[in-house]
Amino acid sequence: DQQVKQNSPSLSVQEGRISILNCDYTNSMFDYFLWYKKYPAEGPTFLISISSIKDKNEDGRFTVFLNKSAKHLSLHIVPSQPGDSAVYFCAAKPNTGNQFYFGTGTSLTVIP
Amino acid sequence: ETGVTQSPTHLIKTRGQQVTLRCSSQSGHNTVSWYQQALGQGPQFIFQYYREEENGRGNFPPRFSGLQFPNYSSELNVNALELDDSALYLCASSFSGTSGGMETQYFGPGTRLLVL
């Protein structure tokens, strides 16, 4: 049962434009959400997080939006750069327990 | 600050064998989580260790077991290997002030296991 879903396996964006990566979840007990970026042959690298008490968190070019009523979060990258090309995973954690649940990833390609 | 390291980087085993994977956590971290990432999938939580005790487990059979040492490094042991165990095994470390919380996990590069 996939509790965190990334329905777009891939996304291509022109350099300088906005990249929007989406993530949906089913478990209303999730209260902490993270985005990770993964390059080939490397482990996932933490990018940005948001707790359920917020609806937006910004860090430089990266902004995460959380819509609790829709059980949806998104990662915006502005402006997109070729070095952003990687697989992006969203992850969620419930308010009890220690397990992080990951989506299946979205492969972002930023075209120069 | 030393990041999360894992060894070996690659491993080939045959069905029925046993394997031990190792992880050194990032300095200052006291919690280690292990994940299995099959091809085309996201990481799946295996278990977490905190203060040398298992502190949460995902939907994996008992032949997946682990250890955490006083220096917070950790091992993942898999017995009676099956073909479906072929995957990337990721270790993530974090700091927990209590047995849970909104800690961020930092991942190592992973060990790629192939079971023939």
pLDDT of residue B115 exceeding 70, the answer is: yes
Report pLDDT for A50: 95
Residues of B in contact with A100 (CB under 8 A): 33, 43, 45, 105
- Three-state SS annotation for chain A: CCCEECCCCEEEEECCCCEEEEEEECCCCEEEEEEEEECCCCCCEEEEEEECCCCEEEECCEEEEEECCCCEEEEEECCCCHHHCEEEEEEEEECCCCCCEECCCEEEEEEC
Residue B75, pLDDT > 70, answer yes
**Structure confidence at residue B98 (pLDDT):** 56
Q: Average of pLDDT values for B1-19?
A: 92
pLDDT digits (tens, 9 = 90+) for B19-44: 999 999 988 888 999 999 998 899 99
Q: Give the contacts of A53 (CB within 8 A, at least 6 positions apart).
A: none
pLDDT band at B1 (very low <50, low <70, confident <90, very high): low
Q: Which residues contact A52 (CB under 8 A, 6 or more apart)?
A: A30, A31, A32, A33, A66, A68
Cα A30 from Cα A7, distance rounded (Å) = 19
Indicate the SS3 state at residue B82.
Answer: coil
Residue with tokens 């002030």: B97
Q: How confident is the model at residue B7 (pLDDT cuts 50, 70, 90)?
A: very high
- For chain A, list residues with pLDDT below 70: none
Q: What is the pLDDT of residue B18?
A: 98
Cα A46 to chain centroid distance, Å, stands at 10
Q: Which residues contact B84 (CB under 8 A, 6 or more apart)?
A: B115
Q: How is residue A64 written in tokens?
A: 């995460």
Omega before residue B61 within 30° of 0, cis: no
Nearest CA in chain A to B37: A104
Q: What is the pLDDT of residue B102?
A: 59
Residue of B37, B57, B99 best to disrupt the A interface, most CBs of A under 10 A: B37
A42 touches chain B (CB under 8 A): yes
Tell me the residues of B at the A interface, defined by beta carbons under 8 Å apart: 4, 6, 31, 33, 35, 40-45, 48, 50, 55-56, 58, 90, 92, 99-100, 102, 104-110
Distance, in angstroms, between A54 CA and closest chain B CA?
14
> Shortest CB distance from A98 goes to which of B4, B35, B100?
B100
**pLDDT reported for residue B51:** 86
